[in-house]
Structure 1
Amino acid sequence: MKFGSVDSGALAAFSRGDWRGAGEQLDAAIRGGGGDAETFALLADCRRRLDESSAAHEAAERALAIDPRNLRATLVKADLLVGEGKRREANFYHGVALEIAAEGGVTPDLRDGVHRAQAARAAVQADLQALVQEELREAGYREGRSSPRFTLALDVLMGRKQPYFQQPTAFYYPGLPNLEFYPREQFPWLDAVEAEVEAMTTELEGVLRDEATFAPYLRPAAGIPGLADYPLINSMDWSTCSLWKSGAETAMAARCPRTMAALAEAPLCRVKARSPEVMFSQLRAGAHIRPHTGVANTRLICHVPLIVPSDCVFRVGNDVREWEKGRGWVFDDTIEHEARNGSDRTRVILMFDIWRPELGEEERLLVSALLEAMDAYSPHPGAHG
């Protein structure tokens, strides 16, 4: 922290704990026209240490009028308010002080003040959470049984979680729910897909015997900037075998008839040269798919786990889950998500895209026409971002 034009004699007196002597010299400097923010802040600190609260408040406020981000003056205000029993007001200044301290430049003599601010903020947060929990208990709230949406709102408010929103990289359709994972009961057709898991796994095992059927999921496209330093570019650690690719059925579909038949009732997203995308997605041991978002929020992504060792986790927003063989889920890939295989074996799932259930037939037709027209002008770089 810079001390500006603070009188050197006042600084020396302050350093040896002569608060009164330092204060007198600072007063004299101010009367002589040397009243910068740090001079007033140091004077406020002296007055606080001398228990001269009114004068300390006045000096701190004058410092903050000149520089609202002066750490010393902010800490003085917080300490004075704590001493007056005004914890709520002090909590505001503690918060500002911690924001300023996070920017760096904390001098050694202010570190204790910063530590007090951290402890005070933590104490207030703990008291608030205890009060909220008691009030909610009396109102009938029960964690795990009450509304999941309310629980998320509570966690975000208390700083235990953060809000995540749809962030499509290419096309945003307004007015759609911001759900990480969709309720399973909204997709009764998934029952038929899950019923064929063993048959699909058998077909997958046949495909896996031919390594050439899989290719890296992330491949740089000609003329389109890529992530040259991303570890999974051109890597078989994350590879796929497509049954439908960019809206067209591949030769592999004929080798997996039970898999294709299982999807007969699924509302596959159909956009020429884009979707559906139906694939076996393979993630090798130790691989990590970094946080990312998909291209368009007019579709959802389905996972049906087929070969799933333990310690394979998937996060969408705040919701972290482990794949279980045969148990499908549906999620919004325009909300930040990532995957990690922490096991020593390969994980393989069936992955495909479907229309959002909120879109009617007219909307689906119009979205398809719009995206196809856009692609005619500018080729689409990939279905999953």
Structure 2
Amino acid sequence: MASGTAMDQKTPPAEAARLNSAGMQALRAQSFAEAERLFVEAVGHDSAASALWRNVAAARRAQGNDAGELQALEAAISVDRVDFMAWLRKAELHQRRLEEAEALEAWQAVLQLAAQAGELPPAVGDALSVGRAFVENAMARIASAVESELQPFQLTMDETEKRRSGAFVDLALGRRRTYFNQCEGLYYPFLPADEFFDRRHFTWMPEVEAATADIREEFLALHADPGDTLRPYVRMDSGIPDNKWSPLDHSLDWGACFLWEYGKPNLPVLDRCPKTAAALASLPSAHIPGRSPSAFFSLLKPRTRIPPHTGVTNTRAIIHLPLIVPVDCGFRVGGETREWCEGEAFAFDDTIEHEAWNNSDELRVVLIFDVWNPHLTAAEHDLITRYYNAADATGLNPAN
């Protein structure tokens, strides 16, 4: 007989649907072996239907056939890697059989899929609650074992090793995510994507910290009579659509008094803050006309939040010297959150997502300024400066 005749053609999926319907009737009648037979026959007509494989698994589960159920669920998942219910039943099966490693892997997949799904039925929600509790317990046990092993060893590490290894452990345990540089302007390749830079890079930092009281006193005098030196930090051009900055636009909820702004000295403020000006003059700042350095008193009013955002270039490090810090203020860069402590400076890469908040009823004030990224060499400082000088001289280079 020639190929391609009706007898050679595959039985249409309609037969699979008929057999599946009969299997469902048998399942409801608790004729589990018959239901399995019908579902298996249905799969023979439409093996690419993951739902049919799940029905086979259900019939085998009702008969206590764990191995057969697992085979059917894995077949469903091989057909459709995002079959939520197949993953859910697989997780429950492994948990029921006390196969904890396999259950953890399956439950993690279930929870990932659930996060992308819409509203789920109450019964599924109850199952997810069981899964979340299992995952939390399992990860807590892993964390306890890891921390018991590593904590004594980490005590021998230097600042860089402790910070990096701590991030590694948190990432491996699912306690944090990885953040990358997102530059609005110049990106310099191959620099470490540090969130907070280690203090050892900034040997001058203790000298700046020692001047905290003088800097605070100069700020308070300036703030008592700021004139036009205090302005909103966020000033969007007219016509820009509403965005995350709109609540702060032209608002002194986040105010700034600039000593230097994009490489230009603000002499009225510098003249009124000579000790602050002297401290800034001693720093390894980039001096690129129209671009850097910048230095300002940052004023965050009570109950104000600066939304997550990223900066212009990773060629710099941003320094915070906290001057006035009420309780319940905080600062996050990437996966690490810190509290400001008056007189204790820190450095971070602002091209990694960061945000700040003042949940108190008092004003928070920080002196913010930028210096060269400590991972750049002196030759690279010179090269970057020459690049901007040459590019800007054309009159074509963007301002950022």
| Alignment TM-score > 0.5, same fold | yes
Secondary structure of the structure 1 residue equivalent to 2:196: coil
The equivalent residue for 2:264 is 248
The equivalent residue for 1:94 is 107
Cα shift at 1:24: 4.4
TM-score, with structure 2 as normaliser: 0.82
Cα shift at 1:373: 4.3
Asked if the contact 1:5/1:36 (under 8 Å) is kept, the reply is no
**Which sections of structure 2, spanning at least 5 residues, go unmatched?**
1-15
The equivalent residue for 2:274 is 257
Is 1:75 aligned to 2:91, yes or no? no
CA deviation map 1:341-378 (0-9, x unaligned):
11112112221111123322321121122234445324
Asked if the contact 1:247/1:273 (under 8 Å) is kept, the reply is yes
User: Residues 347-362 of structure 1: matches in 2 within 5 Å?
Assistant: 347-362=364-379
Distance 1:76 1:270, change over 3 A: same
Provide the C-alpha distance between the structure 1 equivalents of 2:81 and 2:244, rounded to a whole number of angstroms.
43
Give the alignment partner of residue 355 of structure 2, picking from 338, 347, 362: 338
Cα shift at 1:5: 4.2
Cα shift at 1:231: 1.3
Asked if the contact 2:244/2:307 (under 8 Å) is kept, the reply is no
Give the alignment partner of residue 185 of structure 2, picking from 170, 178, 188: 170
Distance 1:108 1:200, change over 3 A: closer
Give the alignment partner of residue 277 of structure 1, picking from 287, 294, 309: 294
User: Residues 58-207 of structure 1: matches in 2 within 5 Å?
Assistant: 58-82=71-95, 85-104=98-117, 106=120, 110=124, 113-136=127-150, 140-141=153-154, 147-207=162-222
Asked if the contact 1:246/1:274 (under 8 Å) is kept, the reply is yes
CA deviation map 1:152-188 (0-9, x unaligned):
2111111122222332222211232332222334323
Provide the C-alpha distance between the structure 1 equivalents of 2:27 and 2:245, rounded to a whole number of angstroms.
52
> What letter is aligned with 1:236?
L
Provide the C-alpha distance between the structure 2 equivalents of 1:228 and 1:81, rounded to a whole number of angstroms.
44
**Which sections of structure 1, spanning at least 5 residues, go unmatched?**
none
Asked if the contact 2:317/2:371 (under 8 Å) is kept, the reply is yes
Cα shift at 1:264: 2.5
> What letter is aligned with 2:190?
G
Cα shift at 1:133: 3.5
The equivalent residue for 1:238 is 254
Provide the C-alpha distance between the structure 1 equivalents of 2:55 and 2:357, rounded to a whole number of angstroms.
52
The equivalent residue for 2:10 is none
CA deviation map 1:16-57 (0-9, x unaligned):
755445434434544666873212211211111211234334
Provide the C-alpha distance between the structure 1 equivalents of 2:338 and 2:98, rounded to a whole number of angstroms.
45
Identical positions, percent: 35
More off after superposition, 226-235 vs 171-180: 226-235
Is 1:212 aligned to 2:231, yes or no? no
More off after superposition, 249-258 vs 268-277: 249-258
CA deviation map 1:183-237 (0-9, x unaligned):
3343232333233333322322232123422111111248988847631121111
TM-score, with structure 1 as normaliser: 0.84
Distance 1:296 1:46, change over 3 A: same
Aligned length, in residue pairs: 377
